[in-house]
Structure 1
């Protein structure tokens, strides 16, 4: 097997590359909705993730007042006031915007000082704002906020490590580049600190060597069983792609185009169990700021008597991707290609995980399914970005399936 080429970067180039990668990761996390894994009751203290433009990536402490129907709560904010500042602000929010208050971090922070590229929250303007450490001057840490573009210095006493509520656990996100231990350099590695404290280190794009067995006397990057290293590398690739797909699937569409009555579009589902699926629809009308009434082409009402009509946000709507027949005729699907599969009345986002005969296996990270399909129900996945369609990067020809 030919050796892997390593491109050398100077410090400034590496710094800028890491800033871009971590910024992309933070934007993906900030725009996704919370996992609905807990039912809250009156009096519970929570944090509400703002979904307002200009406030994405901020969290505000609140108290549950009541449940107001399916997946909605009325909350009373601890720090936000009404317009006349006469009383605490009360609001109805979706369950996907609510999470428990993260555990106290005094012990964690005292044992782990902040490092370059660590993902943190900063307490400012009545809430916690999500960013990462971009530098340090004296006793103050500079924090860069990808969702706003600000880079501001703060004392350590207004910082905390960023945590995500995932699978009913609070997970601490530390950037790969802020943690130098070899164990933390493996994708999705769990580092146990005490029986009830779990820290997960995530990496968007590791630029590291993989030593598959730290106990081996064989130097890192070499092995007397090359196939073990290959399998390990493929597992890492699969983990990276799965995480990328989840991040893309949970983010909202860029609002870069205004649609009109009669326009054909695709609507990205934000319902639990349907994340990562897209449904063709027609714009019926605009129903106010950043909202549209749509008529689905393939989804029907409960009694199946008529096409389903629904009001959706502009951030769930994108144009219909261009026809791919010419592209697909010239390009066969390859292992790890990101694709959409037409099934159950919509397009579902996943990646090629194998091929048996003439059918391709597609793995769906948002559901955990791995299913075989004929090529005619597949298309290359595209993202609507900055007003144009882009194909996501493909893997090299080493992964050809034909």
Structure 2
């Protein structure tokens, strides 16, 4: 930083600091892994070398994985509130396969310490106990947690030995236990190094019928946004119009930008309500976005969540996306303030 002042965001990522890492590997969007900073960043544009606490470079588990990452992939670990119970439709993080995964509670078993969690990224439902869950929060612009932490919060404790139980679906995913992946880096000293490591992810499958209860009622003519299961579009939201609710309990929608195969009209499709959310409300015009602001960027006819990495001239910005990992440039008019749809309400991050 010019002038000798340290950026406020850099103070969280000094050598030895505990952090959580958002993985940008295919199939791992929405996951967070505990790590320690080994080499801190020199400035906001340089990478951070971290050592994972639960991921290793080999199946034997003898060498902790080290990886250079972008600053936007890191955040401080959220404090734990030691909740003993959760409610239907709570947005949560579930501890599974050595990391925290973003999901939503779709069933609460009365009289039991058991919850079914739906993972939007993999379209899977799994069962967890309260000790394996935490309320989902976003590390928002302004360096605060959204929703805010309660005064009784305590430092986060990771249930490293916790295992998800009573899976409601069969495992069907490109990444299976025992698979290996490779990550390359352009960090100084890492240009020609390929990092090999072992990760597993919740499987890719549809939620079972009867396990999900509608958390928001959509009416004919409502403007909404729909997510997709297709490879390359996970995490994206398409503008749609709700046409009707079908006999199968799903919604018939019409895309506002996507055409049908013969090009005679806009594409129509039946989708589950967990793939659908209302259009986010207008929160006013932002004159200028800042570095590290979380935004939605309109690209390929849909909205993608990213973070501003550079403020360019003529109201243009560089935005980094986690999945797939890439950085693209956008006009100011192609960006909007990122909002999260949680518990039936919109929250600004």
Q: TM-score, normalised by structure 2?
A: 0.47
Q: Specify the structure having the higher radius of gyration (Cα).
A: 1
Higher RCO, 1 or 2 (CA under 8 Å, sep at least 6)? 2
Q: TM-score, normalised by structure 1?
A: 0.42
